[in-house]
Structures are given as C-alpha cells and as structure tokens.
Structure 1
Amino acid sequence: MPVLHSTKNLQITTPATETSTGLGVFEYTDAYTVFHYGRMPDLIPGKGEATARMAAFNFRLLEAAGVRTHFRRFIAPDRIEFELARFPAQDDLPLSPGVRSTLLPVQVLVRTELPQGSSVHRRLAAGTLTPAQAGLRTLPAVGEELKEPFVEFATMVDDVNRYIDAAHAQRLTGLDDDRFRTLLDTSVTVNRVLTEHARAVGLRHCDGKFEFMVAADAGLVLADSPGTPDESRLLFDGVHCGKQVLRNWYVDNNLEVPVNRLIAEGVPRHRWPTPASLPGECLPVMSDLYRSLSETWTGERRWNVPDLPAATAAVARIIGH
C-alpha cells in the first residue's frame, strides 16, 4: 500500500499473495498532509490516537450495516490490524478480471454537500468539470447540499491523484458490470451510514473518499479508514473539523506549496521547498479539535479537552475556518 501521502505507518505481519490476503497493522501518526505534498513539518499531538479510534468505531458501525470491511481489531491506543491486499504497480494496470487479494487502484468519492474547500468549486471555475457532470443545473453555491450524491473516481497510482470517469475507473479495476455496480452501491451505502451518524451527533459529513480491495474469495471489501478526518470532510457549525483548516491557513498566508506546478515542471521531490511550519498556537488548538471530534463521534470521553462547540470556536478564532 502507498505510504508517501499517508499519515499512517504500515507494518506487514503476513504478506499478501496472489491467492491469499495477508495481515497488516496501521499505526496512526500525529502527522498531517495537505496539497499532495506528503507529510508536513509539524505533528499534531493526539491526532493519531483520535483518528484511530474513529476508524475502529466506523468499521464496526459499517459492519453492523452489512458492509464487509478489512478491519480485524483495534490495538490501543493508535493501531488497527486489518486484512492486507497487494498494491498494484503501474505495470499491473489495468487489472485483470480475475485478480484476487489486490487493492483496487481507484478511489471512490461520494459528495453530498459542496462546502468551502471542495475541489468541485475549483474545477467548475476552471472548466475541467461542468455542472451537468456533477448532476447540477447551475453553478452551486458554497455549502450547497446536493439532492443526490455525486459519485466520482480518482486514480491512486499517480504522484497526484487524477479524476477519471466511470468507464476509465471500471477499466482500471478490471471489474465487470455487476461488480462495478456493487462497488458504486456499496460506496453510496457507506456514505449514507456515515452521513446519518454524523447528523445524529451534530456534525455534517459532506464528502468521503473510499478504497476497496478484492479479497481472496473475489469479494469486494472496504479498506483504508472511512469516515475519519483524513478521508472525509466533516463540519460542525460551519467550521471544518480536519485538515481543511490547515490547508486554508497556508493558502490565506500565501504559503501553499505548488505541488501541481512542481510536478508539471519535472522538479524532483528532493528539490521541492520545505513547507513553512504552523504557528505554535495552532498546534494545541488542532490537538483539541481532533480529540474533541473523536469523542463526539465515538461517544467515548478519554481526554480533558473542550467540547466540540468550544474546540471549533477556538479554531475559528485562532486559525480561521
């Protein structure tokens, strides 16, 4: 599995083979990523454990709803054991129809709202996406709630993930029509379960990125860490509960790392500029936010942190939305 843009460390306990899934452990770290740069300079204390606990909760929630996942067990305080699949290389694509024990090289993105920070607004403005493609009649307002979920696909084997259409996604995955429809239906179900849970605890689940693997028995299995702030856009009272806050800070202060331009110009990664560090006062605020979000989401009270209304108010006051 790719780790360059991940905030998780991967330990392989049992390697996957062509005929059998393996076993792995994710350690959720306090690192964060923005702009497809990879891990940024700062660590946010407690983020890893808060995210791991949310991931474990979500896997149990989704399995109770009938979704098959790769989750095996939670290992306190910040690790998850899971069924491990092989990650395909570029030379393996498109996948053959009979592939087994393999992570699909495509993310499924399901959007139910279009808040500030959603790439849909940027792509509509640039003309790389049309309202019709997004199931819209007109340009959407920031924060608009969609009547029907908007499902998209993105590659997972490029330096920067690329949006692709459904036909391209199906070709890359090697899935036949029935199994590709199952992939879509399962993604919408996962999004619905997470969105309903978010609403029940006072949050808004605006969009989510979902990954799947093909198990040794050819079944489709939900993978990665659905519904966590690294994979979903969660809002409370209009304030982002995750890395969009940090992305906004870099942009607002003209400190964004131009990764797309650097890649287009062929600049090797070791020559990319080092991102600026966050101001010291940001880190405890973000630490409280992640921990408070986890407590709100899971119902567990583990840390002496402000409640989510207070934590998000502090974020809005010190960092911005």
Structure 2
Amino acid sequence: MPVLHSTKNLHVVEPPTATRDGVGVFEYTDAFTVFHYGRMPDPIPGKGEAACRMAAFNFALLGEAGVRTHFRRFIAPNRIEFTLARLPEQADRPLTPAGGNYLIPLQVLFRNELPPGSSVHRRLAAGDLTPADIGLDAVPTVGEKLERPLIEYATTRDAVNRFIAPGEAQRLAGLDDEQFLELQEITRKVNTVLTDHASKVGLSHCDGKVEYLVASDGHLVLADSPGTPDESRLMFAGVHCGKQILRDWYVRSGNEVPVGRLIADGVPRNRWPQPASLPPEYVAVMTDLYRSLSETWTGERHWSAPDLPTATRAVTDLIDR
C-alpha cells in the first residue's frame, strides 16, 4: 500500500500484535518528496533501487557494529523485508514499553555540520532557535562543522513535523530515563558508523535522522532506512547528493509549494496546487547522481553510472546554467 508522505510503499506480510512481531516489506520507489508536500509529480528512474541497496548495505554495516535493527533481508532489486511493529494510536495516554511492540512516533536527528539547506539556519534566522540551544556561542556560519554531534527530536504524526524539546520527546516515546539515554547512545553510534563509512568513500555525512521501535521484548530497535539520501544529507566536494538539489530548483524557479501556509489557512489537501514538473534535464542528472552515490557507497556496480566527481560536476553545471 502506498504511503503519501513516504517514498516507500509498505506491504504488510504478517500484522504485528502487542506480543508478536509482524513482518513487512518496503518497496523503495523512484518518488521524491520536498516541502512536506508528499510525493512530487516526477519519478527519478533508478532512485528507488539505488536507495534500497544503500539501506541493505547500511543495515549490514550497523549489524556488524552491534546495532539491533528491524532489517530481515534484502529482496532484489528494490525491496527489503523487516520486522513490523504496531503504529500507536494518537491518544492522550502516554506510551509505555510494557504496552509492547510499537513504532516510536519520533524522528531522532543528528547533525555533524550545518551545510546550505540545513533547517538550523532557517530556525536561527526566525528566532525559533538560539545558538545556545545547540551548544554554540554565536550564530554558526553556513557549512560550519560542529565540535560534537547535535541531537534533536521531531514529531512524525503531525501534518508538518515539528521540532520538540528532549523532555517532550521522551514523553512522546514513552521511555524512562534509562531507555531514553540508551536511545541517544544508539543514535550516536549509528551516526559514528555512517559518518566513518562516508569518510572512507570520500563523502561528508552532514546530518541524518533515524526512527526506532520498541520490540515485543521491550528493547529498542533501529528502524526506517538510515544513511540513505532520503534520511541523510550526504555531500561530495561541497555538492549535495540528494533531494536538496531538487528543493533548491523549486525555490529558485519560484515553484515552491507553500505547504505551511496552506495548512495554516485550512486548505484541504485535495485543493492544494499541483507542483510544477522538473525540467527533464534534472531528472536525467539526478538518476545518474543517485546511482553513482549508491555505487560509491556500497562498492557494487549495477548500472555503470558515472563516478561521483563526474555526477556531481553535472549537477553544478546544471545549476550554473
């Protein structure tokens, strides 16, 4: 079944219960999302398989590092089977691990750098964030590297995800102090593993996000697709290797979809404007970029894509036209 706000389709093989894990399959599609709009009109051929192969590689990498994940197996070319948890109902009653087997309604974000496009710059400019909130003495420059990774939290069940304080995040997750500390420690480990691998293959792992489930045995399990271009901001020689390129085109061309304003004005989704289509040359360049990124990251050759210097040079040439 398709998920409007996701680039993956979810197929339920075996439904979960409070006491028994379920089984699901993610099909990674060629769709992309920006501006919290949901799926945009143009598919990027090859993107789904490229991201799926990166996800499977990363789950193996993290498993070797001792991180427990929901990954079960890779189903070529663009699906993974995983342990499926219950999606908790929206309710005033807080979650508790004793309730068993649920997806935590929380994104955990980690930041190593603050490149162009990072929401930190926008939130600082708007006054929604202060330098002290992120452990800095002054407003950071664009591209600034942080002395230590910053961890933040955001909701996943709102119309537009919102950043929340650690206390609210812990309450929303239904975790006690020890469990919430463990969630932070796992997140730091995931960040370290992915950042180290990125460095080995010549990439910068600027930031990323992860999600967790509480398994039927009460333990935290890493979920979603860490380290893929939909979940992490990866850059090569100062060039974004993901959807920031597409987001920037919409903004520069005056085609940005004002989702925040539409929601604030109460406009029903079925009356939102249809986003503009990408120029065809962007689709072709992004296909090469996603495939090149995947081959660089995994060390596997599936498409004879251009190398990453060539693929990113094509991006900068396109932007500079």
> Same fold, TM exceeding 0.5?
yes
Displacement after TM superposition at 1:320 (Å): 5.8
Q: How does 1:18-167 map to 2 (within 5 A)?
A: 18-91=18-91, 94-167=94-167
| Letter matched to residue 49 of structure 1 | E
Q: Separation in 1 of the partners of 2:302 and 2:97?
A: 46
Residue segments in structure 1 that go unaligned for 5+ positions in a row:
none
Displacement after TM superposition at 1:93 (Å): 5.2
Aligned to 1:230: 230
Q: Separation in 1 of the partners of 2:93 and 2:134?
A: 27
Q: 1:106 to 1:308 in 2, by over 3 A?
A: same
Displacement after TM superposition at 1:219 (Å): 0.7
Q: Deviations over 1:139-195 (max 9, x none)?
A: 001110000111000001101101000000000111000000000000011011100
| Letter matched to residue 175 of structure 2 | L
Local SS of the residue matching 1:132: helix
Q: Separation in 2 of the partners of 1:205 and 1:197?
A: 9
Residue segments in structure 2 that go unaligned for 5+ positions in a row:
none
Q: Separation in 2 of the partners of 1:20 and 1:119?
A: 38
Task: Report which stretch shifted further, 96-105 or 136-145.
Answer: 96-105
| Letter matched to residue 57 of structure 1 | F
Displacement after TM superposition at 1:95 (Å): 1.0
Aligned to 2:239: 239
Aligned to 1:209: 209
- Paired-residue identity, %: 68
Paired residues of 2:213 and 2:223 also in contact (CA < 8 A): yes
Aligned to 1:168: 168
Q: TM-score, normalised by structure 2?
A: 0.98
Q: Separation in 2 of the partners of 1:125 and 1:138?
A: 12
Q: Separation in 1 of the partners of 2:92 and 2:201?
A: 42
Q: 1:210 to 1:259 in 2, by over 3 A?
A: same
Q: Deviations over 1:63-107 (max 9, x none)?
A: 100100000000000000000011112126531342211000111
| Letter matched to residue 292 of structure 2 | S
Local SS of the residue matching 1:210: strand
Q: Separation in 1 of the partners of 2:92 and 2:189?
A: 29
Number of aligned residues? 321
| Letter matched to residue 96 of structure 1 | T
Q: Separation in 2 of the partners of 1:320 and 1:240?
A: 14
Q: Separation in 1 of the partners of 2:40 and 2:93?
A: 30
Paired residues of 1:2 and 1:87 also in contact (CA < 8 A): no
Local SS of the residue matching 1:90: coil
Q: Separation in 2 of the partners of 1:3 and 1:299?
A: 30
| Letter matched to residue 129 of structure 2 | L
Q: TM-score, normalised by structure 1?
A: 0.98
Paired residues of 2:2 and 2:9 also in contact (CA < 8 A): no
| Letter matched to residue 168 of structure 2 | H
Q: Separation in 1 of the partners of 2:154 and 2:88?
A: 15
Aligned to 2:314: 314
Q: Separation in 1 of the partners of 2:228 and 2:170?
A: 26
Q: CA RMSD in A?
A: 1.3
Paired residues of 1:112 and 1:148 also in contact (CA < 8 A): yes
Paired residues of 1:245 and 1:320 also in contact (CA < 8 A): no
Paired residues of 2:2 and 2:10 also in contact (CA < 8 A): no
Paired residues of 1:74 and 1:81 also in contact (CA < 8 A): yes
Aligned to 2:262: 262
Paired residues of 1:249 and 1:320 also in contact (CA < 8 A): no
Q: Separation in 1 of the partners of 2:84 and 2:205?
A: 27
